[in-house]
Amino acid sequence: MRALYYTGTMQSELRDAPDPVAGAGEAHIDVSHCGICGSDMHAWHGHDPRRVPPLILGHEAVGTPRNGAYAGQRVAINPLHTCGQCRHCLAGDDHICPERKLMSMQLPGAYAEQTVASERNLYPLPDHLLDEDAALAEPMAVCVHAVEAARKTVRRPFAESRCVVLGGGAIGVLCAIVLADQGAKDLWIAEPNEKRRAVLEKICPITAYDPAVGGPEEGSVDLVIDAVGAPVTRKASSSLVMPGGTIVHVGLQEAGDGLDTRYFTLQEVTFAGTYCYSRYDFAAALKLLARGIIQNRDWIEVRSLDQGAVSFEDIHNGKAPPKIILSMA
């Protein structure tokens, strides 16, 4: 089979690879589409010691199993494999299972014509849902999880709150879409890339702004979702959030400083870190996609696997839309 390998810092290469072999309880899957994630870019930049080259990246995948209970059916793959038996899994918090393994990290990824996954991680797709839309299930699940964490802590309904999303990549865009779907009206998204800003306001009712130029005033925001996770965005979160407000930290770009914890304490600001999603979030994300929550696709581009290597370079150079999905056809 053909597969796109991460071969070293800022290097990737299309290679012939051995066909995967499904083990007990696993399905052998012909991959249809797989999205490029920010964490894949983080690995490609050489910033993730957990992802050691040569490695097949990619975990936002859709395909058709050759064997098992879902043989011949299109499925979305939940790439987060967990033990299913620990206290976290039994409580429905499988995303913090200490034995968790992620495709494209501890397990081979899906930038390939074939992959394998546990059968219990497969979700059949309704007939009307396109493969390229279903490939958004994994990042959408991240956003469903983050917005739910926000809902539990924001002191006013979203419809009455000022909400700011930092970062106009796929996670930022999908967080904004979920917030708008849940009633947010005073909704902003910070994005320094002019090309991305040009399409953001077409996606849902949102004000896109260049954080270097303007934006909401300091201390005026009920909810900040940091979809970048860098010192500069953490500093912006600390500046923007109002007393009694909430910051949800989703991005994993870079560890370090940026948070004003003294201000958080004196003004009772809630800070929540969110990681991945539970299996319930994944199922909820698929339901949203099947309902048609994605109304505008100007921010999504489908490219062939042959264009995978240049796609990573385009994202790095700021020449790509918020989302690129690779097709294995």
Q: What CA–CA distance (Å, rounded) separates 265 from 63?
A: 47
The pLDDT, as a whole number, for residue 217 is 97
The pLDDT, as a whole number, for residue 57 is 97
Task: Report the interhelical angle of 170-181 vs 137-153 (nearest 10°).
Answer: 50
- Across 306-314, average pLDDT: 97
Taking all residues of the chain, what is their mean pLDDT, rounded to a whole number? 96
Q: Is the pLDDT of residue 46 over 90?
A: yes
Looking at domain 143-273, which of 3.40.50.720, 2.70.98.60, 3.40.50.150, 1.10.1060.10 is its CATH number?
A: 3.40.50.720
- Cα 250–255–257 angle (5° rounding)? 100
- Across 313-321, average pLDDT: 93
What confidence tier does 182 reach under pLDDT thresholds 50, 70, 90?
very high
What confidence tier does 225 reach under pLDDT thresholds 50, 70, 90?
very high
In this structure, the number of other CB atoms found within 10 A of the CB of residue 85 comes to 10
Of the candidates 308, 319, 271, the residue with the CA atom closest to the CA atom of residue 37: 308
In the chain, pLDDT over 70 holds for what percent of residues?
100
Give 68-123 pLDDT, tens digit per residue.
Answer: 999 999 999 999 999 999 999 999 999 999 999 999 999 989 999 999 999 999 99
- Across 143-153, average pLDDT: 97
The pLDDT, as a whole number, for residue 235 is 96
Domain edges within the chain: 2-136+294-327, 143-273
The DSSP bridge partners found for residue 252 are none
C-beta separation of 104 from 80 below 8 A: no
More confident residue, 125 or 255: 125
C-beta separation of 184 from 166 below 8 A: no
Q: Is the pLDDT of residue 198 over 90?
A: no
Provide CATH code, domain 2-136+294-327: 3.90.180.10
Q: What CA–CA distance (Å, rounded) separates 305 from 192?
A: 28
The pLDDT, as a whole number, for residue 174 is 97
